[in-house]
């Protein structure tokens, strides 16, 4: 029981950054902007979060630092794609390349230093509930925030006027402009919100998940978050499902690598042989599981082109120059 | 002051009390182009005021300034005797000016209620809007379901949404930009009834159109624009269609001359046999049992409201979408339903698509490159060299381009400019010339003169008829009923993916066509 | 103040040529600011970064060695990007090219003859092309986003290489280091001027590739097809060009060239397989492709510039004591300026002082 609980806990920890980054990107894409720089913003959030936490000694200030760094970094992207109408795909790649380089430079002094860990906040009574208590109510602040964020984004998008305006801009920027909606301003805000979320997701890596600074520690999670948005067909609650699925895959392969086969002798023999078979899979193949899973998921979800077409924000990735 | 209210600068009111809107020598420039040059006009309370002019005369620019989407470079707008500045559409709405756009400003993925909510002020609760919309739509006889998604609606229904959305703001002045260009004649009649009702309520309407008959029938006053300048004002009822048209065009545009079909028993060159095709995307139309035979020497016109499957039909005939059965489509006696567009061109067919930039031509490529675009297969012998390497012979393509430019009188700057630098009319003349230069035995054109000035349109229509009379089979798909009536020998109507049996153009009436456009009168 | 864009009637030929130079100029200015911020004399720093590596013959050799894979990959990427196919997994294709090309030298080290090397290079190209065919197939068949799939395959390829050199292909006489056996002379690319430095014949291959691509893209119907499909897919269909075929061809070309870059790096420089064989050439080549304005000749020049940023990073580490990661930052900044400058090709940029419009809001 304890073992399962520990494993589930790590799944939550692995899923949280994916979910936050994907939710942020979802809002950005709902406004019609495709920001492929999630990986870059995430790693900037990680290094800034780590650095701020080191300097101040507070993991919470670190998280705020990550948010600020992600949002500021995304401004670069916003300026290029929204003000100068540069190609969004290329600029997103540029953001990732620059983020990986810049974070390496900034973080050079922090390599190998022990980080400031964000400790769990145990909620009295609720945390003592059987089964779910430990999992849901004895977590770090960023986890709680991620759940609140999910609910808030869903409410914002579908219940508020501002959310409606944001969706309208993503659907048809020309129509929105002719109604007097400030398309560029809304997109700036949406991009910065996505940046802030990616930054926080990165900070989570450096303050909760690892907690250390390792160069390139985002390890493709930004890209997986991007895939999650497609997987979720731009609907917030499906991001939850996707993120935890990926969290589970990531953790499963880690645990399989760590398991000592001799400790499993209590299993029925056929299960033991199965375990032996799985253990025989080289660790590198297990490590590549999350990436392969991403590809498989993308293929499966994209197969239904009709559905994808209906769900995709119609002006996603298209530049807009208002006439004045 | 509320930032959403127009800025009232000072009271300059000296005119009689019933002038609602006055525009005083307003000017707007886009780069070197003067879109509006000291334009003035007056709209009085309770009148329907027509704004007439050709494509590109500056009508849309003018009303966008009135609606706050564009800012004037000079001149002033006077509203009920006060000079105002309208900086945003929401200021215009608060002032009492509403607008129904030509290319709708609706959002396909959102519901009717959400679309309406987006143009109403924050004081309206999102949840009440559906109910309000239902009330207004019923009151004016424009039935609407607030929960319907726009993407699932017909063009006529979408216009209803636009109008209801506008009426919910309770405007004093309603601007309608080319409202009937997308409607069937019957739908247009319903619209006229609504407009008459609005007028009787004391609202004014600024009505943009280039359809002279409806303007004469309905409008109290007209202002005529040409090249951004006011060139005439009149009471339409006292004018003839010709006396309205002449100042618009600035010259006498002759009618196209149409010799009788001499080869009435010409061979069938193009044949569609029960073409069925599922809709390729969620927002497209499926083709259903389309049959058509086009003979040498004739022009068959295909009328219909936009979005009823015309583009899908064009793609099916051109081979951009392939049929399942080879025998679905026959050209000059050859089955070619599963043959691609290049193969069909080699059979002697030529195609002109609706969208000029991005479909018939690539914007950032030069004219000679755009020549290769459509003719690399049919003219491989002359245009390509060095065998399988397929090296493009640039000197040859430039020469042919020059020939086409001279033949079609294409006005351009530079030797071989980008397609995007030509005006709509000149680019269309080039694209037509590109195909005519081959002397195709089959020509299929979608919207030949959409957004083209009258002079170029006349030239294009004449060229189409001349080609047919020289023994080719020509299909013209057009939303412009006048154009269809002018150049077709036989007329068929497209509605919801089906094509009616073509009828002799001499005998078919507009009413017949209208009924078929609305999906009635089949069989 | 705000910035407004005004679309030009036609794209500016002047700025098509000028924009990479504007970007380079702006990057140098950013460099001055960055070095000043790091407390260095910016002139000295820029000198040791960008000029010093060119003053010695051996470092010119190094420059050519670094430019070779960048140019090879970027030529392929420019074909891909021009046709609006976003292959960003060149790094993975490079790895798989190196792996496939190493099959012969590792499993049959005794093979000799001039044909061995040719076979090795061809197998390297095939390996890269096969790896690139996966995202292309998924895009064509299922509509899966090729950006994400091609990138995910980078990680998979790197892990696969890691598994090989730590397992099956580990050198039996290698004291348990994660390395393959070293290649014999028959299996390696010879040096061009052995007396002056180690630049190998991969550079010559790169030049040939540049020439072929320049001819294909600029003169032939095939190159025309790439441009048309990339700029206006609908017009491409109207012209009778198949976008799906183009996607596959573009990925195969760029994959094969990335594979060639990988195997020429192995046979020309490293001469064995190691867990890591590229300092991110596959990603840096994206910058090269854009800096070269997706034109093969431009890519050649841009490849040399990016190679210089790698060398400069190493040189600056030694002479200035700053991190070699500065080079990476330069590369990222450069790409940003390139993309920003490209705006000038289609638009006039106007700076507008606050007017009544913004005063109102």
Q: How far is CA A109 from CA A68, A104, A210, B494, C37, in A?
A: 21, 9, 17, 71, 17
Q: C206, C298 in Cβ contact below 8 A?
A: no
Q: How far is CA C92 from CA C17, C95, C100, C161, C290, in A?
A: 32, 5, 12, 10, 20
Q: C274, C179 in Cβ contact below 8 A?
A: yes
**Confidence band, pLDDT 50/70/90 cuts, at residue C359:** very low
Instruction: Please report how many Cα atoms fall inside a 13 Å half-sphere around the Cα of residue A62, on the Cβ side.
Output: 30
**pLDDT surpasses 50 at B156:** yes
Cβ-based burial of A13 (10 A; exposed 0-12, middle 13-18, buried ≥19): buried
Residues B88, B115 within the same domain = no
Question: Tens digit of pLDDT for each residue in A259-311?
Answer: 777 777 787 888 888 888 888 888 889 899 999 999 999 999 888 877 777 78
Q: What is the pLDDT of residue B461?
A: 92
Question: Tens digit of pLDDT for each residue in C310-328?
Answer: 888 888 888 888 887 888 8
Residues near B340 by Cβ (< 8 Å), separated by ≥ 6?
B319, B322, C240
Question: Tens digit of pLDDT for each residue in A61-99?
Answer: 999 999 999 999 999 999 999 999 999 999 999 999 999
**pLDDT surpasses 60 at B12:** no
Residue written as tokens 């000072």? B10
Backbone CA torsion sign across C232, C235, C236, C237: positive
CB-CB neighbors (< 8 A) of B87 in chain C: 356-357, 360
Q: B190, B214 in Cβ contact below 8 A?
A: no
More confident residue, C38 or B416: B416
Q: Any idea how long chain B is?
A: 523
User: Residue B293's closest CA among B473, B486, B437, B85?
Assistant: B473
Q: What is the pLDDT of residue C356?
A: 46
Residues B411, B505 within the same domain = yes
Beta strands B498-499; B442-446: pairing state: unpaired
Q: Is residue B257 part of a domain?
A: no
Domain A2-117+141-311, architecture per CATH: Orthogonal Bundle (1.10)
**Residue B212, SS3 per DSSP:** helix
- The Cα B297–Cα B294 span in angstroms is 9
Average pLDDT over residues B504-522: 79
Q: B379, C255 in Cβ contact below 8 A?
A: no
Cβ-based burial of B523 (10 A; exposed 0-12, middle 13-18, buried ≥19): exposed
Q: B311, B295 in Cβ contact below 8 A?
A: no
Residues near C305 by Cβ (< 8 Å), separated by ≥ 6?
C24, C291
- The answer to which of A50-54, A251-255, B295-299, C183-187 has the lowest mean pLDDT is A251-255
Q: What is the pLDDT of residue C355?
A: 52
Task: Please judge whether B392 and C240 are an interchain contact, meaning their C-beta atoms are less than 8 angstroms apart.
Answer: no
Q: Is residue B383 part of a domain?
A: yes
Task: Please judge whether C145 and A89 are an interchain contact, meaning their C-beta atoms are less than 8 angstroms apart.
Answer: no
Residues near B361 by Cβ (< 8 Å), separated by ≥ 6?
B370, B373, B419, B427, B430, B431, C235
In chain C, at which residue ranges do the beta strands (DSSP E only) sit? 2-7, 347-352
Residue B294 main-chain phi, psi, to 5 deg: -120, 130
Q: Does A172 touch chain B (CB under 8 A)?
A: yes
Q: Is residue B230 part of a domain?
A: yes
| Alpha-carbon gap: C218 to the closest alpha carbon of chain B (Å) | 9
Q: Where are the alpha helices (DSSP H) in B140-232?
A: 155-167, 185-200, 212-218
Q: B483-522 burial string, b = 16+ CB within 10 Å, else e?
A: bbbbbbbbbbbbbbbbbbebbebeebeeeebbbbbbeeee
- The Cα C238–Cα C221 span in angstroms is 15
CB-CB neighbors (< 8 A) of A174 in chain B: 105
C-contacting chains (≥3 CB pairs under 8 Å):
A, B
Share of chain A above pLDDT 90, in %: 64
The first and second tokens of residue C200, run together, are: 């190998």
Dihedral in degrees, nearest 10, Cα atoms A164, A169, A175, A181: 80
Q: What is the pLDDT of residue B14?
A: 46
Residue written as tokens 């960055």? C34
CB-CB neighbors (< 8 A) of A171 in chain B: 107-110
Task: Please judge whether C328 and A105 are an interchain contact, meaning their C-beta atoms are less than 8 angstroms apart.
Answer: yes
- The Cα A281–Cα A284 span in angstroms is 8
**pLDDT surpasses 70 at B451:** yes
Q: Is residue B256 part of a domain?
A: no
Interface mutation target, options C82, C84, C214, C240, chain B, most CBs of B under 10 Å: C240
Residue written as tokens 């019609």? A32
User: Residue A195's closest CA among A312, A86, A44, A5?
Assistant: A44
Interface mutation target, options A298, A312, A318, A324, chain C, most CBs of C under 10 Å: A298
Q: What is the pLDDT of residue B69?
A: 85
Q: Is residue B133 part of a domain?
A: yes
Domain end, chosen from B216, B249, B282, is at B249
- The answer to which of A3-7, B38-42, B367-371, C44-48 has the lowest mean pLDDT is A3-7
- The Cα C78–Cα C86 span in angstroms is 10
- CA of B380: which chain C residue's CA is closest? C221
Interface mutation target, options A25, A106, A288, chain C, most CBs of C under 10 Å: A288
Q: Does C354 touch chain B (CB under 8 A)?
A: no
Q: How far apart are the first and last CA of chain B?
A: 62
- Interface predicted TM-score (ipTM): 0.89
Question: Tens digit of pLDDT for each residue in B284-319?
Answer: 889 999 999 999 999 999 998 878 899 999 999 999
Average pLDDT over residues B494-500: 91
Residues near C82 by Cβ (< 8 Å), separated by ≥ 6?
C217, C226, C227, C230, C294
- The Cα B377–Cα B383 span in angstroms is 9
Q: Is residue B261 part of a domain?
A: no
Helices and strands in chain C, H and E counts: 15, 2
Q: What is the pLDDT of residue A288?
A: 92
Q: What is the mean pLDDT of chain A?
A: 91
| Alpha-carbon gap: C243 to the closest alpha carbon of chain B (Å) | 12
DSSP string, C111-151: --SHHHHHHHHHHHHHHHHHHHHHHHHHHHHH---HHHHHH
Share of chain B above pLDDT 70, in %: 93
- Helices B155-167 and B126-139, axial angle in degrees (round to 10): 110
**pLDDT surpasses 60 at B2:** no
- The Cα B274–Cα B497 span in angstroms is 12
Task: Please judge whether C343 and A84 are an interchain contact, meaning their C-beta atoms are less than 8 angstroms apart.
Answer: yes
Residues B21, B37 within the same domain = yes
Residues B321, B189 within the same domain = no
User: Residue A101's closest CA among C147, C261, C280, C285?
Assistant: C280
- Could you list the residue range(s) of the whole structural domain that residue B82 is in? 7-96+171-249
| Alpha-carbon gap: C264 to the closest alpha carbon of chain A (Å) | 25
Domain end, chosen from B166, B187, B214, is at B166
Task: Please judge whether C144 and A97 are an interchain contact, meaning their C-beta atoms are less than 8 angstroms apart.
Answer: no
Task: Please judge whether B88 and A172 are an interchain contact, meaning their C-beta atoms are less than 8 angstroms apart.
Answer: no
The first and second tokens of residue B124, run together, are: 């309206």
Residues B215, B340 within the same domain = no
**pLDDT surpasses 50 at B120:** yes
Average pLDDT over residues C9-38: 90
More confident residue, B455 or B416: B416
Predicted TM-score of the model (pTM) = 0.90
- The Cα B335–Cα A230 span in angstroms is 42
**pLDDT surpasses 80 at B261:** no
Could you give the number of structural domains in chain B?
A: 3
For chain A positions 259-318, those within 8 Å of chain B (CB to CB) are 306, 309-310, 313-314
- Which member of A164, A176, A179 has the closest CB to residue B114? A164
CB-CB neighbors (< 8 A) of B355 in chain C: 234
**Confidence band, pLDDT 50/70/90 cuts, at residue B170:** confident
CB-CB neighbors (< 8 A) of C226 in chain B: none
Q: Is residue B158 part of a domain?
A: yes
**pLDDT surpasses 60 at A244:** yes
**pLDDT surpasses 50 at A140:** yes
Domain end, chosen from B166, B183, B209, is at B166
Domain C41-321, architecture per CATH: Orthogonal Bundle (1.10)
Q: Is residue B259 part of a domain?
A: no
Q: How far is CA B287 from CA A280, B271, B335, B498, C361, in A?
A: 56, 15, 19, 6, 50
Residues B162, B179 within the same domain = no
| Alpha-carbon gap: C143 to the closest alpha carbon of chain A (Å) | 6
């Amino acid at each position: 029981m304890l073992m399962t609980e520990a494993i589930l806990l790590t799944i939550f920890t692995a899923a949280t950054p994916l979910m936050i980054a994907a939710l942020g990107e979802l809002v950005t894409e709902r406004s019609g902007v495709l920001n492929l720089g999630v990986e870059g913003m995430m790693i900037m959030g990680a290094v800034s979060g780590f650095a701020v936490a080191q300097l101040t000694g507070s993991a919470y200030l670190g998280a705020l630092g990550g948010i600020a760094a992600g949002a500021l970094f995304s401004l670069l992207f916003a300026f290029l794609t929204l003000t100068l109408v540069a190609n969004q795909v290329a600029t997103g790649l540029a953001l990732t390349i620059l983020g990986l380089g810049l974070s390496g430079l900034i973080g050079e002094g922090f390599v190998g230093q022990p980080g400031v860990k964000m400790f769990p906040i145990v909620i009295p009574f609720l945390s003592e509930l059987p089964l779910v208590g430990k999992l849901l109510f004895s977590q770090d602040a960023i986890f709680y925030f991620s759940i609140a964020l999910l609910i808030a984004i869903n409410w914002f998008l579908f219940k508020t006027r501002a959310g409606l305006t944001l969706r309208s801009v993503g659907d048809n920027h020309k129509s929105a402009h002719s109604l007097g909606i400030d398309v560029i301003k809304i997109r700036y805000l949406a991009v910065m919100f996505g940046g802030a979320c990616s930054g926080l997701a990165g900070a989570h890596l450096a303050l909760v998940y690892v907690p250390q600074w390792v160069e390139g520690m985002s390890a493709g999670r930004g890209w997986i978050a991007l895939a999650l948005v497609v997987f979720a067909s731009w609907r917030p609650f499906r991001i939850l499902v996707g993120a935890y699925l990926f969290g589970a895959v990531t953790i499963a392969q880690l645990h399989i690598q760590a398991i000592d086969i001799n400790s499993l002798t209590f299993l029925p023999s056929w299960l033991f042989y199965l375990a032996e078979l799985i253990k025989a899979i080289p660790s590198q193949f297990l490590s590549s599981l999350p990436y392969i899973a991403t590809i498989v998921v993308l293929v499966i979800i994209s197969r239904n082109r009709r559905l994808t077409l209906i769900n995709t924000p119609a002006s996603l990735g298209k530049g807009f120059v208002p006439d004045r | 002051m509320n930032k959403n209210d127009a800025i009232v600068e000072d009271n300059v009111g000296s005119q009689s009390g019933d002038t609602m809107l006055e525009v005083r020598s307003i000017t707007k420039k886009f780069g070197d182009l003067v879109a509006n040059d000291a334009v003035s006009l007056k709209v009085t309370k309770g009148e329907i005021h027509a704004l007439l002019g050709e494509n590109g005369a500056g009508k849309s620019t003018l009303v966008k300034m009135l609606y706050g989407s564009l800012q004037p470079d000079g001149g002033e707008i006077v509203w009920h005797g006060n000079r105002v500045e309208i900086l945003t559409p929401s200021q215009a709405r608060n002032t009492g000016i509403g607008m129904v756009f030509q290319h709708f400003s609706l959002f396909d993925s959102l519901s009717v209620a959400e679309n309406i909510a987006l143009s109403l002020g924050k004081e309206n609760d999102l949840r009440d809007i559906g109910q309000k919309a239902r009330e207004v739509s019923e009151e004016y006889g424009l039935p609407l379901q607030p929960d319907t998604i726009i993407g699932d609606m017909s063009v006529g229904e979408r216009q209803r949404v636009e109008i209801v959305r506008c009426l919910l703001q309770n405007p004093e002045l309603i601007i309608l930009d080319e409202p009937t260009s997308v409607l069937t004649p019957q739908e247009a009649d319903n619209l006229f009834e609504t407009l008459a009702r609005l007028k009787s309520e004391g609202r004014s309407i600024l009505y943009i159109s280039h359809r002279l008959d409806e303007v004469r029938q309905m409008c109290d006053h007209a202002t005529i624009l040409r090249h951004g300048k006011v060139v005439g004002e009149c009471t339409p009822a006292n004018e003839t269609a010709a006396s309205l048209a002449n100042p618009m065009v600035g010259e006498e545009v002759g009618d196209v001359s149409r010799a009788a079909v001499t080869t009435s028993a010409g061979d069938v060159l193009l044949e569609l046999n029960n073409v069925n095709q599922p809709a390729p995307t969620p927002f497209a139309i499926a083709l259903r049992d389309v049959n058509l035979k086009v003979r040498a020497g004739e022009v068959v016109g295909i009328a219909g409201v936009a979005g009823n499957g015309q583009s899908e039909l064009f793609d099916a005939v051109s081979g951009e979408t392939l049929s399942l059965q080879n025998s679905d489509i026959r050209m000059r006696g050859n089955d070619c339903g599963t043959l691609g567009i290049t193969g069909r061109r080699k059979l002697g067919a030529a195609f002109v698509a609706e969208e000029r930039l991005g479909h018939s031509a690539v914007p950032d490529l030069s004219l000679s490159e755009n020549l290769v675009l459509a003719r690399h297969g049919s003219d491989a012998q002359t245009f390509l060299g060095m065998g399988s390497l397929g090296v493009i012979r640039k000197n040859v393509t430039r020469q042919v381009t020059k020939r086409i430019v001279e033949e079609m009188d294409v006005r351009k700057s530079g030797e071989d400019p980008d397609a995007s630098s030509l005006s709509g009319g000149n680019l269309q003349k080039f694209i037509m010339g590109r195909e005519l230069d081959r002397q195709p035995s089959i020509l299929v054109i979608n919207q030949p003169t959409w957004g083209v000035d009258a002079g170029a349109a006349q030239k294009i229509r004449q060229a189409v008829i001349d080609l047919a009379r020289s023994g080719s089979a020509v299909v013209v798909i057009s939303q412009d009923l006048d154009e269809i009536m002018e150049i077709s020998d036989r007329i068929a109507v497209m509605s919801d993916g089906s094509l009616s049996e073509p009828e002799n153009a001499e005998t078919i009436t507009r009413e017949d066509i209208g009924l078929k456009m609305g999906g009635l009168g089949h069989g | 103040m705000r910035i407004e864009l005004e679309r030009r009637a036609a794209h500016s030929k002047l700025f098509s040529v000028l924009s990479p130079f504007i970007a380079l100029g702006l990057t140098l200015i950013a460099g001055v600011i960055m070095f000043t911020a790091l407390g260095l004399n910016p002139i000295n720093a820029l000198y040791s970064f960008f000029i010093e590596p060119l003053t010695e013959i051996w470092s010119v050799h190094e420059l050519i060695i670094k430019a070779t894979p960048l140019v090879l990959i970027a030529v392929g990427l420019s074909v891909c990007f021009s046709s609006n196919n976003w292959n960003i997994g060149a790094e993975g294709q490079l790895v798989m090219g190196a792996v496939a090309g190493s099959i012969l030298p590792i499993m049959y080290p005794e093979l000799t003859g001039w044909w061995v090397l040719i076979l090795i290079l061809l197998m390297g190209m095939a390996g890269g092309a096969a790896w690139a065919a996966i995202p292309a197939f998924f895009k064509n068949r299922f509509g899966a986003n090729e950006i994400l799939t091609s990138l995910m395959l980078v990680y998979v390829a790197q892990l696969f290489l890691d598994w090989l050199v730590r397992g099956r292909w580990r050198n039996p006489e290698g004291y348990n280091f994660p390395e393959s056996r070293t290649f014999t002379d028959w299996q390696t690319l010879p040096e061009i001027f052995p007396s002056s430095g180690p630049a190998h014949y991969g550079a010559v291959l790169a030049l040939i590739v540049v020439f072929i691509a320049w001819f294909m893209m600029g003169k032939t119907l095939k190159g025309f097809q790439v441009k048309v499909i990339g700029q206006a897919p609908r017009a491409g269909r109207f012209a009778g060009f198949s976008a799906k075929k183009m996607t596959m061809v573009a990925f195969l070309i760029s994959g094969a060239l990335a594979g060639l870059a990988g195997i020429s790096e192995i046979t020309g420089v490293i001469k064995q397989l190691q867990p890591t064989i590229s300092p991110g050439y596959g990603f840096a080549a994206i910058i090269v492709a854009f800096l070269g304005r997706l034109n093969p000749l431009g890519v050649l020049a841009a490849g040399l510039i990016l190679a210089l940023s790698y060398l400069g990073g190493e040189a600056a580490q030694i002479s200035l004591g700053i991190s070699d990661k500065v080079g990476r930052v330069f590369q990222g900044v450069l790409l940003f300026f390139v993309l920003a400058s490209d705006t000038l090709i289609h638009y006039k940029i106007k700076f507008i002082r606050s007017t009544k419009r913004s005063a109102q809001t």
